[in-house]
Amino acid sequence: MTRRRTNKRIKRNGTSGISTQIELFHFNPPISFEARDGRGRTLKSAEEIAVHNRAAALLRFVVKKHRASRLHYDFRLEWNGVLMSWAVPEGPSCCPSVRCEAIEVADHKIKNIAFEGVFPDGMPGAGPTMPWDLGWWEPLPGYLDVDDCFRNGCLKFTLRGEKLKGNWMLLRRPGSCKGGRRQVWDLVKLPDSFARSMDAPAIVDEQPNSILSGKSLEEVEREGKAGRTGRKRRRSETTLFKMDE
Ligand code: MN
């Protein structure tokens, strides 16, 4: 399977308020938004829809399960050629009444989106990490100016992952910008058919393993350490999310 080089279309200098990605969403929204092209014309044939979808922006997301000094989940959205990142200590919850603290952290490189293995001792984040969920995301109508949404502290979006699906919101906590270097947000499930009640099992407990290898974090850690001292170390990555660069 070959993946398109989506990054090529992204303006990297980011000086103007409107990015190429936003323009793509305005004028060429993915078919999942609505089966219409940018001029409001309804798309009919399967081929027409396929062509349209290939032209539309596909933005990836990943949720990493990572045990550094403590277990947490790294929630990352592809935007403007990087993965914008939040550390979610408790992991995402599919229950709309649960607000999951999400601490804004530094952007990550897209090429590491599917990395599974062990960060060696002595480096920041030392410990095992694995992709707990992978997929695509798109802003909801009304939130297409994603840069503006990040500035304003509220983004609503759809996740199309293996585990996380449906509509979600990132909402910056009031006053979180004051003084602190790290802004604090909440990751919240919006009510829809993918939402769960408080009584339902937490998705992080129900489906704890890597979305790529099916391994638990403990297995990743054990094999990562064994690989380093034994035979030639192998990186567990798949072609599913083989990077663009
Ligand atoms: Mn992390």
Plot region of 158 (φ>0 → left; ψ -120 to 50 → alpha; else → beta): beta
This prediction has a pTM of 0.72
C-alpha 207 to ligand 1 mean position (Å) = 19
What percentage of the chain reaches a pLDDT higher than 70?
Answer: 67
Distance between Cα 105 and ligand 1 center (Å): 9
pLDDT tens-place string over residues 15-27: 333 344 444 444 4
* 69 CA to centre of ligand 1 in angstroms: 9
CA 78 to ligand 1 center in whole angstroms: 16
Domain positions in the chain: 61-226
Nearest to 74 by CA among 125, 14, 22: 125
Distance between CA atoms of residues 40 and 37, nearest Å: 5
Q: How far apart are CA 12 and CA 244, in angstroms?
A: 15
Q: Give the distance (Å) from ligand 1 centre to CA of residue 134.
A: 15
More confident residue, 140 or 128: 128
Rounded to the nearest angstrom, the distance between the alpha carbon of 72 and the centre of ligand 1 is 6
Residue 79: predicted pLDDT: 87
